[in-house]
A and B are shown apart, each in its own frame.
Chain A
Amino acid sequence: MSDSTLQQSPVASNEKEFLSFVLGKEHYALDITTVKEIRGYEAATKIANAPAFIKGVLNLRGDIVPIVDLRLKFNVGEATYNQFTIVIMLHVHERIVGVVVDGVSDVVRLTDEQILPPPEFGVAFDSQYLHGLSEVDDTMVILVNIEKLITSDALALVDNSQSMSLAG
């Protein structure tokens, strides 16, 4: 899906493509180059002692991938799971992470000038994980700095002492 959209036309030098998605009633967008694939939600294997927003791990063609429900993490909307629930598989820093969202809407192209600085408050996300705000078709879209979010301590997806420990 992401592949076909990328092939549409060459992107202008200062233009970036974002994938916009819905969490509750709010519209968000993330850098499309981090998206590996988009798929329907399926039940994951639960992990003991993990926070509630980590739904568990899934088999993505042989890789064991954690699934994060951003709705639970940031208290947006209701965490329901139906046939419309979507998982965006992200590829960030050699890691694959699935993010549960209420739906994906579009691929939007934005130039740097179209991106406004993020507000200090008023959004569920901590402003340090935000890239900025923009307006697409009269709707406010919140641009998420997904790399920073995925590797943040808040999500606890990355064990920072990991490089030290060995498998086993």
Chain B
Amino acid sequence: MSIDVEQFHSVFFDESEEHLQAMEDLLMTIDVDAPDMEELNSIFRAAHSIKGGSGIFGFDQLTGLTHIMETLLDKARNQAIQLNSAIVDLFLETVDILKATLNAYREQQPLPEAEIAAGISQLEATLSALDAAPPAFDKLEDEDCEEDAGFGFFDDLPDANAVIEAGINNSDTDDLFGDLAFGSESQDAAPETASDGAAEDDGFGFFDEIPAPVAVKEEKEEEAFGFFEDLPEPPVAPAVNVTPIKSAAKKPAATKTNSSQSKESGSIRVDTAKIDGMVNLVGELVITQSMLSMIGRDIEGQSGEMLQAAIDELQRNTREIQESVMSMRMLPVNMTFNRFPRVVRDLSQKLGKQVRLVIEGGGTEIDKSLIEKLVDPLTHLVRNSIDHGIESPHIRTEAGKPESGTVVLSAQQKGSSIIISISDDGAGLDRERIMDKAVQNGLPVSLDMPDSEVWQLIFQPGFSTAAEVTDVSGRGVGMDVVRRNIESIGGRIEIESTLGQGSSFSIHLPLTLAIVDGMCVTVGEQIFVMPLLNIIESFQPKAEQIQTIGNDSVLWIRDEYWPLVPLHQMMQVDDAILAPTESIIVLLESGKHRFGVQVDALMGQQQVVIKSLEKHYKKVAGVAGATIMGDGKVALIIDVDSMAQSCQLNIKHEVCA
């Protein structure tokens, strides 16, 4: 009987990815001078888990690299070596290599063997260099102090690994020890169990009574026979330092255990396809429910009333089911944001700038599919902010600003949309330079364009005003891609900027891709849905507001001429109201265009489930998708951007006119 190991691979990959991310996050925040023991332990455990898993599945390259990393980490958390930023950098690089290797294994692509080998040799070099110069060990400290120190430092499972390092090198034992130690961790309330061999490790960290050291010392002596031979003696910090370290190690340990327990029991891994299937089914349920309520309205008498009450109940329940199912797809934006401390750190080092990254609203939840698609555009914008926005320290000082710049990455929910913004207190966009560049590129510009239109110019392909091209940015590919990416997920991007004070890019995104808040409008016998996000206002126009230019009409409102698109013409509906004054105008706005759309009447606001037209048919110009109305009929959802594009020629004429 053979067990199909492959089925566990994806779990291993997912978990290892999480471990690597956790390692990176912790490494980013670690204080090299006074590292938090619990953090070091967490990093160590993450590396250890990856090593164990990769060993089981035979991903030897991962095992090799994590093994040596683990050795180094082990020394660090035993304070056998003093951390410094070079080592942390090395760890971060190793994490990068591990990520690449993991991906290579996952995609079954050639492994980055050269990088792995380089990584290993670098780690080994560091290891041997550090071994050659062990930190000075001060024997003069008195007994009590040494005990206390041991106490604070030996708080996890170093011994278990020390055994392995000492040469037993049996991976089963390793895992066993690891598991035992992990298991014992959760019983942190009972340090007395320290008499148990494995739990003893933890015990050290958790004791807080002064009498305890005696017991511990005994334990230690017992255990020390086999385990402590190779372990370098813990460097003894002056007595004053011991207490803070001890308490610091204690507190996070307790909270950590709680959170890891609740995490284990509180979440399960579910295939996204299953959730998507459920989202679809619930969408169907919502449709069926609204069909029922339409039928219910026609029934009169007492049973009609009862039916109506039952349908109302059903409506409430379906709405709640829908909300909870939708929330299953939601993840905190932090999933995207948490990579940026690293990006900012690397980039600011490379460019010799001082940048502080502030993250706000990381807990805001957003659809999983959006999270994945946000990574590239956000990375681009953050890099831009640092490269072009934030000035070098001496320029900043001259301008009377603090030496280090600040980049704020924030997310917030406003109604049914999420706004993610990247702001910096750097130089801001330079109107003159953008205009010059636009003229150079032959773009139609006029000197009295409002700022907001000038800023939009940077989204033109091939547009870069960076004085010099760096390897970070400035090649002028990018901002157009950023906008395209954002628009492809139904969002839009806005810029605010003040020269010398900084700029802010805000991305407006729908909460989810599957449901849109829409305004239902009728044209002839057909119903169309317009995304509420794009609607500015709607009104019945007066005759003097409408002017005709050739065959096209324009609308005078808000002190501006707006192009007017009759929806019945665009969508080829026959029996619509033709005269604009007898119909309703809906003012729409997309990233690039603003225009009015003429419809027969407004039906009301409704949340609709977006269905793909492409699945069984193909993309239709001006249409984002379709939805199923309460009566089971199909209504098309207007895609404001693509609609603007398909009548762009007209619009341009009209704007010029």
- A residues whose Cβ falls under 8 Å from a Cβ of B: 44-50, 56-59, 61-66, 95-97, 156-159, 162, 165-168
In the complex, A50→B573 CA distance in Å? 12
- Say how far A61's CB is from chain B's closest CB, in angstroms: 7
The answer to whether A45 touches B618, judged by C-beta atoms less than 8 angstroms apart, is no
Query: Shortest 10 CB-CB distances between A and B: which pairs?
Result: A159-B618, A45-B634, A66-B617, A48-B571, A64-B626, A48-B572, A168-B488, A59-B628, A62-B284, A64-B611
In the bound complex, what is the Cα–Cα distance between A159 and B619 (angstroms)? 7
Residues of B within 8 A of A58 (CB): 634
Q: B390 within 8 Å of A by Cβ?
A: no
Flag B499-517 by CB within 8 Å of A: 1 or 0 each: 0000000000000000000
Q: Which residues of B contact A166 (CB under 8 A)?
A: 488
B620 touches A95 (CB 8 A): no
* Cα of A115 to Cα of B635 in the assembled complex, Å: 43
- Tell me if B417 is interfacial: C-beta within 8 Å of chain A: no
Tell me how far the C-beta of A28 lies from the nearest C-beta in chain B, rounded to whole angstroms: 22
Tell me which residues across on chain A come within 8 A of B489, comparing CB atoms: 168
CB–CB B613/A64 < 8 A:
yes
In the complex, what's the smallest C-beta–C-beta distance from B490 to chain A, in angstroms? 6
From the candidates A57, A62, A168, name the one contacting B283 in the complex (CB within 8 A).
A62
A57 partner residues in chain B, CB cutoff 8 A = 613, 617, 626, 634
Which residues on B sit within 8 Å (CB–CB) of A157? 617-618
Q: Which residues of A contact B490 (CB under 8 A)?
A: 168
User: Shortest beta-carbon distance, B487 to chain A, in Å?
Assistant: 7
Residues of chain A within 8 A of B632, CB atoms compared: 59
Within 8 A of A (CB), among B592-625: 611-625
11 contacts between A and B (CB under 8 A): A47-B623, A48-B571, A48-B623, A57-B617, A62-B284, A63-B615, A65-B617, A167-B612, A168-B487, A168-B488, A168-B490
- CB within 8 Å for A167 and B616 given contacts A45-B635, A62-B611: no
A56–B488 Cα distance when bound, in Å, is: 25
- Asked if B364 CB lies within 8 Å of chain A CBs, one says no
Q: How far is the CA of A157 from the CA of B620 in the complex (A)?
A: 11
A97 to B615, CA, bound (A): 11
Q: Is the interface of A mostly helix, strand, loop or mixed?
A: loop
A45 touches B633 (CB 8 A): yes
Q: Identify which of A47, A48, A156, A162 contacts B570 (C-beta below 8 A).
A: A48
- In contact, B284 and A61 (Cβ under 8 angstroms): yes
Q: Name the contact of B616 in the complex, choosing from A56, A61, A66 (C-beta under 8 A).
A: A66
Residues of B with C-beta under 8 A to A158: 618
Would you call B287 an interface residue if the criterion is a C-beta within 8 Å of the partner chain's C-beta atoms?
yes
Task: Specify the chain B residue showing the minimal Cβ separation from A58.
Answer: B634
Q: Flag whether B280 is at the interface (Cβ < 8 A).
A: yes
Contact B612 A64 (CB under 8 A): yes
Residues of A within 8 A of B633 (CB): 45, 59
Q: Give the distance in Å from the alpha carbon of A44 to the alpha carbon of B634 in the complex.
A: 8
B460 beta carbon closer than 8 Å to chain A:
no
B628 with A62: CB separation less than 8 A: yes
Whole-angstrom distance between the alpha carbons of A46 and B528 in the complex?
A: 11
CB-based contact B619/A165 at 8 Å: yes
| Distance between Cα atoms of A162 and B612 in the complex (Å) | 12
Q: Are A162 and B616 neighbours in the complex by a CB distance under 8 Å? A: no
B572:A97 contact, CB within 8 angstroms: no
With a cutoff of 8 Å between Cβ atoms, the chain B residues found around residue A165 in the complex are 614, 619
Q: Is B160 an interface residue (CB 8 A)?
A: no
CB-nearest residue of chain A to B635 = A45
A47 touches B620 (CB 8 A): yes
Which residues from B are CB-within-8-Å of A159?
Answer: 614, 618-619
B619 touches A162 (CB 8 A): yes
* A65 contact from B526, B616, B618, B620, Cβ within 8 A: B616
Instruction: Give chain A residues whose Cβ lies under 8 Å from the Cβ of B623.
Output: 47-48
Query: Which of A56, A59, A157 has the most chain B CB within a 10 Å cutoff?
Result: A59
* Complex CA distance for A158 and B619, rounded to whole angstroms: 9
- Interface membership of B639, Cβ < 8 A: yes
Q: Beyond the given A48-B571, A63-B615, A167-B614, please list 6 additional residue pairs across the A-B interface where CB-CB is below 8 A.
A: A50-B620, A56-B634, A59-B634, A64-B613, A64-B634, A66-B616
Q: B636 at interface (Cβ–Cβ under 8 A)?
A: yes
A95 to B488 CA separation, bound complex (whole angstroms):
24
The minimal Cβ–Cβ distance linking B390 to chain A, given in whole angstroms, is 33
The contact of B620 among A44, A49, A62, A97, by CB within 8 Å, is A49
Q: Please, which residues of chain A bring their CB within 8 A of the CB of B570?
A: 48
Interface centre among A57, A58, A66 (most CB of B within 10 A): A57
Q: Give chain A nearest CB distance to B290 CB in angstroms.
A: 13
B615 / chain A contacts, CB cutoff of 8 Å: 63-64, 95
**A48: which B residues are within 8 A, CB to CB?**
570-572, 620-623
Docked complex Cα distance between A159 and B614 (Å): 8
> Which residues of B are found within 8 Å of A47, using beta-carbon distances?
617, 620, 623, 636
Q: In the complex, what residue of chain B is closest to A43 when comparing beta carbons?
A: B633
Min distance, Cβ A148 to any Cβ of chain B, angstroms = 18
CB closest chain-A residue, reference B624: A168
Decide: A63 near B487, CB < 8 A? Known: A46-B572, A48-B571, A167-B625.
no
B287 and A62 within 8 A (CB): yes
Nearest A residue to B617, CB-CB: A66
Given the complex, which residues of B lie within 8 Å of A64, measured CB to CB?
611-613, 615-617, 625-626, 628, 634
Query: How many Å lie between the Cα of A50 and that of B620 in the bound state?
Result: 9
Scoring A47, A64, A166 by chain B CB atoms within 10 A of each residue's CB, the highest score goes to A64
In the assembled complex, the CB of A112 is this many whole angstroms from the nearest CB of chain B, namely 31
Closest to A98 in B: B616
Which of chain B's residues have a CB closer than 8 A to the CB of A162? 614, 618-619
Docked pose: A46 CA to B570 CA in angstroms: 12
Chain B hits for A56, CB < 8 A: 634
Which chain A residue has the least Cβ–Cβ distance from B627? A64
Most chain B CB neighbours (cut-off 10 Å) among A44, A47, A56, A58: A47
Q: Are A46 and B620 CB-contacts (below 8 A) given A62-B283, A168-B490?
A: no
Q: How far is the CB of A90 from chain B (nearest CB, A)?
A: 10
The listed residue (B487, B611, B616) touching A96 by CB distance below 8 A is: B616
A168 / chain B contacts, CB cutoff of 8 Å? 487-490, 624, 639
**How far does the alpha carbon of A125 sit from the alpha carbon of B621 in the complex, in Å?**
29
B597 to A: closest C-beta gap in Å: 14
B287 / chain A contacts, CB cutoff of 8 Å:
62
For the complex, give the distance between the alpha carbons of A58 and B280 in Å: 17
Bound-complex Cα distance A44 to B573 (A): 13
Q: Known interface pairs A45-B633, A45-B634. Does A63 touch B616 (Cβ–Cβ under 8 Å)? A: yes
A45→B631 CA distance, assembly (Å)? 13
* A45 touching B611, Cβ below 8 Å: no
Whole-angstrom distance between the Cβ of A135 and the nearest chain B Cβ: 34
Q: Within the complex, what minimum Cβ distance (angstroms) separates B493 from chain A?
A: 15
Q: Which of B487, B489, B573, B616 has the most CB of A within 10 A?
A: B616
Central interface residue in B487, B617, B628, by most chain A CB within 10 Å: B617
Q: B562-590 interface mask toward A, CB cutoff 8 Å, 1 = contact, 0 = none?
A: 00000000111100000000000000000
